[in-house]
Structure 1
Amino acid sequence: MGLGKQVVIIGGGIVGLSSAYYLQKEGYEVTVIDKTNMTSGASYVNAGFLTPSHIIPLASPGMIAKGLKMMFNSSSPFYMKPRWDTDFFKWAWYFHKSSTDSKVEKAIPVIKDINLLSRDLFEDIKASGDLGDFQLERNGLLMLYQTQSAFLHEKEVAERASDLGLEVAYLDKAQLKQKEPHVSIAAEGAIHYECDGHTTPTQIMPLLIAYLKKIGVNINENEIVQDLKVKSGRIEEVVTDKSSYRPEHVVMAAGSWSGLLSKKLGIDLPLQGGKGYRINVKRETGIQLPAILMEAKMAVTPMVGFTRFAGTMEFSGNNRIVRKERVNAIAAGAQRFYPNLSITDEELDDAQTGLRPVSPDGLPYIGKPSKIDNLVFATGHAMMGWSLGPATGKLVSEIIGNKKTSMNIEAFSPNRKF
């Protein structure tokens, strides 16, 4: 690479590709490097939600206690595998320190703002026609509950969301039946976040890759970053197993691997991979609206060509091991709420996993570290990576271009203390 407006983006998930999308539009010469063939991972197996309603960060009061309680039950929705790992211990301590009412209170408006920004950008991308046609629906999200305690817990969140101007409705059994006439649902009712939307990630990702290639973005698959050489507070060279690059700017969008790569720069970025699972049912299920099954702690999304059942947050290191008991727990949860639905052995065997990068406070890292002048972090989005892809990409392009950012990003600083 010669001199000029060169950017290397490490990571080809939704965040890395969204960054490439907006940077290319600003006239940068962009190269995306990804260690996979870019057909799997968190950007492909998520629930596809666009969720302004998800205003409470993962690090909220009581979560560590829940995690410890569930630690020895490997089929529980929130699972921390017991292991001797000092990075994990440090992260867990920071997570605990972040799980306070006051910190959650501070995070709520910021999470809402970036979600709304991203939802609008998804709409803009669709309207531009850049990617061609893709599923982008705004039918809201149902929070289905079977118990009064689950309803009351979510009602607090819904009231807060409503106070923030988000559209919320309460549905009893009869109203729920009107919304979902073609499927039997074992629920007492639902809170309907009308502000939310959904997509099919496996449809959007190939369209985005194809568009970026067409407009001149270099996308280098199956290429592993081995070293990042720093001189005078700048990354001078990105060395991979196939090549080396001397870009003007580097974007770290490597998901759950961002923390490990940051160590090569002498930066301690607290981050853990939180594994999620998905089951695709390619038969007609009758399900029309995306939902979260509250007591089962899992998501359901009607996508193009299939219905997706997704869930769990498993902290067991950066591996892609499929734990059968966790897949079975998702299937059982689905059947608890949709009694006429049974997931086949074949569908269970086809289950896939992805690792979401989870910061200790549940907020992403978006911005420059104090140590390295030409690096921008774009990672740590936890369960909101898909929702926040376009907003993060837009913010990255603004940071690199020294422009006023579309929102205040102070809360996302990679230099923040836990």
Structure 2
Amino acid sequence: MPETKTATVVGAGMVGLATAWHLQERGVEVTVLDRHGVASGASWGNAGWLTPGMAMPLADPSLWAYGPRALLDPSAALSVPFRFDRTLWAFLARLMAHATPGAWQRAMAALTPIDRIALDAYDELEAGGVHATSYPSRWVVGFERERESRPFVHELRGVARAGQEIRLSRVPDGVRVPHLSRAVQSIWTLEGQRYIDPGSYVQALATSVSARGAKVLSDARVESVRAVPGGAEVAVHGHDAVTSDAVVVATGAWLPELARQLGVRTRVQAGRGYSFSVPVDGPPIDHPVYFPARRVACTPYQGRLRIAGTMEFRGPDEPRRPARVRAIASSVRGLFEGVDLDSREDEWVGSRPVTPDGLPLVGRTAAPGVYVAGGHGMWGMVLGPATGRALADLITTGRTPEEIRPFDPLR
């Protein structure tokens, strides 16, 4: 194959910037384009969890019980608007079709190879000059009733059967965890995972990419991508077209706008998540906390606690809905002690790119020289660096690494 000397990456989130960084490692001159700027999509306000042990398909059999109830509960973590949207309802039908034990096991088997190298990929970035830190930590996982823990434990056992080491243990009854109230009756810990401050980490990655010679351009709204003789061309609104040997489209929840031009048929739906930060009395909470039954993730964040939740299937550019923030806060009220859920700051909404089968879209498109990297759902942060490394290998060698082979965008 012809040597790749130049590349354009569309999207300045974790996945796009990690791809740019690894292309630079292989001697490729890179330009990064983004419509708003670094970490302007799902990369800023997410929970920052680097949890390959929990990077599993969204569609699981519990959706058949939980989904219909959630549709009738405006405060539920799963939120779908009641309106005529043929594309959305078609996506939901495909998602539910994958909510079977067999489909979950097949998707988990496909995710396991990249899950197993996800943290090594972070080590490579940090050893290679990205001035940011991923923090090893235990996860505290809490339930109000013992029976609520069973689905979570069952899922993690499924992850272990697929080939990951899962270090999950039950905290003995009577042992209290600081800042958890007595309403949390069943407490577990999960070891071997990490967390980051996602916005700061992605900004540090962008700084590293720039320092190595890349152009990182904001306010660059891409209108089309197409193959041209000798490479690929990106049309940018209000700017000259950008031509390079290869183009990577890594636009997260906005992927469908360009992917349809490139022969990618798998639907990508925006699954919006919300977050905010709150103060903690006394010593700060120095480890993540997860309430699976409430679907709420909590992470140490700049001396406060970031609380994140919700899977809201709306358009990525729709306005933030304050009621979703209030619903998240209400769902964990009574589960904490010394956490002020009413002194909220940093309220945020970001759109995660969700596929019906739970697998990302990473690889070649129907347009020669054009690749996509997206569709990671809730796991773009943990799998972004490993995705970028594998895709850079594909672009520069022509060989598809095994860890992304199941993610063929043209499947």
> Is this a same-fold pair by TM over 0.5?
yes
SS in 1 for 2:169: strand
- For residues 331-410 of structure 1, the aligned pairs below 5 Å read 331-345=329-343, 347=344, 350-369=346-365, 371-402=366-397, 404-410=399-405
- For structure 1, the residue ranges without an aligned partner over 5 or more in a row are none
Give yes or no for the alignment of 1:123 onto 2:123: yes
Q: CA deviation at 1:244?
A: 0.8
CA RMSD of aligned residues (A): 2.4
Alignment-mate amino acid for residue 298 of structure 2:
V
Write the distance in 1 (CA, Å) between the matches of 2:170 and 2:263.
Answer: 52
C-alpha distance in 1 between matches for 2:182 and 2:14: 32
- Which structure 2 segments of 5+ residues have no match? none
The CA deviation at 1:155 is 1.9
- The alpha-carbon deviation at position 414 of structure 1 amounts to 1.1
- Please report how far the alpha carbon of residue 142 of structure 1 lies from its aligned counterpart in structure 2 after TM superposition: 2.4
Write out per-residue CA displacement over residues 240-267 of structure 1, whole angstroms, 9 at most, x where no aligned residue.
3322111111111000111122223454
Shift of the 282–375 alpha-carbon distance from structure 1 to 2, 3 Å rule, reads: farther
SS in 1 for 2:52: coil
SS, match of residue 313 in structure 1: strand
Report the AA paired with residue 53 of structure 2. S
Indicate the residue corresponding to 1:43 in structure 2: 43
Provide the residue aligned with 1:76 in structure 2: 76
Question: C-alpha displacement at 1:125, in angstroms?
Answer: 1.9
Identity percentage of aligned residues: 28
Equivalent residue pairs, number:
407
User: Which residue does 1:311 correspond to in 2?
Assistant: 309
Give 2:336's aligned amino acid: Y
Query: Which residue does 1:252 correspond to in 2?
Result: 249
Alpha-carbon shift at residue 81 of structure 1 (Å): 1.1
Query: What's the counterpart of residue 167 of structure 1?
Result: 166
Distance 1:182 1:283, change over 3 A: closer
Task: Return the letter of the residue paired with 2:253.
Answer: S
The letter of the residue matching 2:397 is: N
8 Å CA contact retained: 1:135, 1:304: no
| Greater shift in the superposed pair: 191-200 or 380-389 | 191-200
Question: 1:17-416 to 2 correspondence within 5 Å?
Answer: 17-63=17-63, 66-128=66-128, 130-132=129-131, 134-163=132-161, 164-173=163-172, 177=176, 180-181=177-178, 184=181, 186-230=183-227, 235-265=232-262, 267-283=264-280, 286-345=284-343, 347=344, 350-369=346-365, 371-402=366-397, 404-416=399-411
Q: Contact conserved, 2:263 with 2:410, CA < 8 A, in 1?
A: no
Partners of 1:175 and 1:365 in 2: CA distance? 46
Change in 2 beyond 3 A, CA 1:404/1:193? farther
Is contact 2:280-2:338 (8 Å) kept? no
Q: Any conservation in 2 of the 1:300–1:309 contact (CA below 8 Å)?
A: yes
CA distance in 2, matches of 1:257, 1:39: 14
The aligned counterpart of 2:10 is 10
Is the 2:116–2:164 Cα contact (8 Å) retained in structure 1? Answer: no
- Aligned amino acid, residue 391 of structure 1: A
Amino acid at match of 2:249: M
CA 1:23–1:188 in structure 2 vs 1: closer, same or farther (change >3 Å)? same
Q: CA deviation at 1:105?
A: 0.8
Equivalent residues of 1:142, 1:289 under 8 A apart = yes
TM-score by length of 2: 0.91
**What letter is aligned with 1:397?**
A
State the AA in 2 paired with 1:394.
Answer: R
Q: Which amino acid aligns with 1:30?
A: V
CA distance in 1, matches of 2:165, 2:20: 30
Counterpart CA distance in 2 for 1:302 and 1:326 is: 21
Which one-letter code corresponds to 2:142 in the other structure?
Answer: L
What's the CA shift for 1:110?
2.8
SS at match of 1:393: helix
Deviations along 1:91-126, one digit per CA (max 9) or x if unpaired, are 222212222211111121332321221111112222
The answer (yes or no) to whether the contact 2:112–2:164 under 8 Å persists in 1 is: no
What letter is aligned with 1:354?
G
Q: Distance in 2 between matches of 1:290 and 1:355?
A: 22
